[in-house]
Chain A
Amino acid sequence: MEKFHPFLYLGFVPGFDDFPNVVYSWAVMFFLIAISILATRSLQTIPVGSQNVIETIFEGVASFVEDTLGPEGKPYFSLIFTLGIYIFLSNVIGILPGFMAPTSNVNTNIGCALTVFFATHYIGFKKSGLKYLRHFTGPIIWLAPLMIPIEIISHLSRPLSLTLRLFGNITGEELVLGVLMLLCLQIYLPLPWAMQMFCIFGSFIQAFVFVLLTMIYIAGSLEGHDHDEHGEEHAHTN
């Protein structure tokens, strides 16, 4: 979608013409790393300044993960938090004129989505070993030939839907902003303020949805096993 951007600030970086999303993704990453280093350089028990802000965000997300995943989900907090702030900042940066959202390119999104896909299966295998394969066979063992293809397709559609949802939303936002900017220029308004404010909200919702679905997938690979055992016992008693 980079051809919809009339001008971009980071065009001087070598290789920009081929991979503008990678360049802007690195810009976002540098910003996040710089913020983290600045905030944690002089840690204090009673936080002041930037440490305070970062701690507020951190604790908010931590309590949300705790609510959704329970105490079992604590090891995966870093994955979820990193994905969340990276995607949120990537979405928000596209609202500024002269910047491009890295998430408005499919490749950035499929990177995040495949990370989630492999992470959920790794967590499942780590948690319950080879018994994790029972997730794919359905509640009753003799239904397995029917359930396995369905489960495989549904698992493979997860990264696809994560990718396309983020891509479509952010691309749509950028297109709408571009069109409104054209309109605004005709009535001598510099920027479409109202739509930009709304797009900040939309960017937050998209990052939130991505993170929420990640947590649901992780919860599914963590907890599904007990459920399956119940189903099997149920089948035996029948």
Chain B
Amino acid sequence: MMKRLAILGLGFASFATMATNAFAAATTAEDAEIQKWKIICSAFALAIAASAGAFGQSRSITSALDGTARNPGAGADLRVTMIIGLALIESLVIYTFVICLIIIL
């Protein structure tokens, strides 16, 4: 058990060094500046996208629950449609996430 934990720790230490290596690739001051702004932009983009997506998803869930409360018989159909809608809303946030990955890496 301890040996496995040690291996795990070593693995994560190498993970951490890899992560720092990715950022240490910036050598000149200008590169460091660009890298910094990349991280800031990605964080803000993901924050805005996540908040807007969460708002949209909350609205769709509210409407679906309202409909189910008024007509419980339609619950199954509403649930399936709601999940499709949630997936489509969520995919926009996921696009932002992918673009952030592309920007940073």
Contact = CB atoms under 8 A, between A and B. Distances in A.
B80 A6 contact: no
A181 B16 CA distance: 12
Interface residues of B, number: 22
B11 A6 contact: yes
Interface of A: 3-4, 6-7, 68, 97, 161, 164-165, 167-169, 171-172, 178, 181-182, 185, 190, 205, 208-209, 212-213, 216
Given A3-B18, A165-B94, A169-B94, A97 B8 contact: yes
A160 B8 CA distance: 36
A216 B84 CA distance: 10
A212 B94 contact: no
B84 A212 contact: yes
Contacts of A205: 83, 87
Contacts of A3: 18
Nearest to B14: A6
Given A3-B18, A4-B15, A161-B91, A167 B98 contact: yes
A178 B15 contact: yes
B95 A164 contact: yes
B1 to A, nearest CB: 9
B12 A182 contact: yes
Interface string B13-27: 011101000000000
Given A164-B91, A181-B12, A182-B15, 5 more contacts: A6-B11, A164-B98, A209-B83, A212-B83, A213-B87
